[in-house]
Amino acid sequence: MSRALLRSVLELRPAVPRPIASPRILPATQIRALQTQTPRQFNPTAQFVDPQPRPSQLPEQSTSSLSSSSQREPPKQKPNPPRVRLPTTPPEITPQKLDPSVKSLLPLLAAQPAHYITIHIHGRPYLVTEGDAVRLPFLMPDVQPGDVLRLNRASTLGSRDFTLKGSPWVDERLFECRAVVTGTEQEPVRVMIKKKRRCRRKKHVFSQHRYTTLTISEVKVVTEVPEDA
């Protein structure tokens, strides 16, 4: 009961106003010091402004700009001429000097009959003698029956007792090998059956190739070699 009475008395008590802070009064010495301080000064900088052209100069400048633009025309691009492919000349191969032992044995090799030679046609070697027939495994382009071909790529040249081996090729000045194109041959028709697993369908592919045939007409050993060789 006493607590309830005390609480009601406190609620009825008037609110006490809070003191308001009074303005701070400075002494006279500080006021004089503040008054004697000089304000900060800044060095002004002059701004640069482009001079405006006079109205009398404007038409002259416009006419001059028009005349300069008319004089400076954009350069015209010349059309590129078509490129012409010049015929390529094969590099000149300087002949190597022959060994004296080879020169001394050439007459002995030429004196024996029935010479043989290993010629290379499109990278394939063929060991032949005079009168042999060769069937190439391909159709040689740009040849007709009756054409004479000079075969100048050989790896070996020999007879019964002598053999001349090249490293990797025999000098083409030491021999003459010629072949005559006799015609073309056509093989029988080939039939290849193509079939897939679990499928009853079969596909038949037919092919029939043609081959060029040659006859070796001459195999000769050259004994008269130039002196500079």
Percentage of the chain with pLDDT > 70? Answer: 60
Band of pLDDT at residue 182, cut at 50, 70 and 90: very high
Residue pair 164/157 in contact by the 8 Å Cβ criterion: yes
pLDDT at 224 (0 to 100): 83
Tens digits of per-residue pLDDT, 92-132? 556 678 888 888 889 999 999 899 999 999 999 999 999 99
Read off the pTM: 0.55
Q: Are strands 210-221 and 175-186 parallel, antiparallel or unpaired?
A: antiparallel
User: CA angle, corner 129, sides to 124 and 135, nearest 5?
Assistant: 45
SS (H, E, C) 22-42: CCCCCCHHHHHHHHHCCCCCC
pLDDT at 174 (0 to 100): 93
Mean pLDDT of 158-177: 93
Q: How far apart are CA 125 and CA 114, in angstroms?
A: 19
Considering Cα of 24, then 29, then 33, then 35, what sign does the dihedral take?
A: positive
DSSP notation for 81-117: PPP-PPPPPPPPPPPPPPPHHHHHHHHHHHHSSS-EE
pLDDT at 206 (0 to 100): 97
Mean pLDDT of 201-209: 96
Q: How far apart are CA 146 and CA 178, in angstroms?
A: 12
Which residue's entry shows tokens 């001394």? Answer: 104
Residue 89: pLDDT over 70? no
Tens digits of per-residue pLDDT, 7-58? 766 676 665 556 555 556 666 666 666 666 555 555 555 555 556 656 555 5
Q: How far apart are CA 117 and CA 220, in angstroms?
A: 10
- The residues facing 178 across adjacent strands are 150, 218
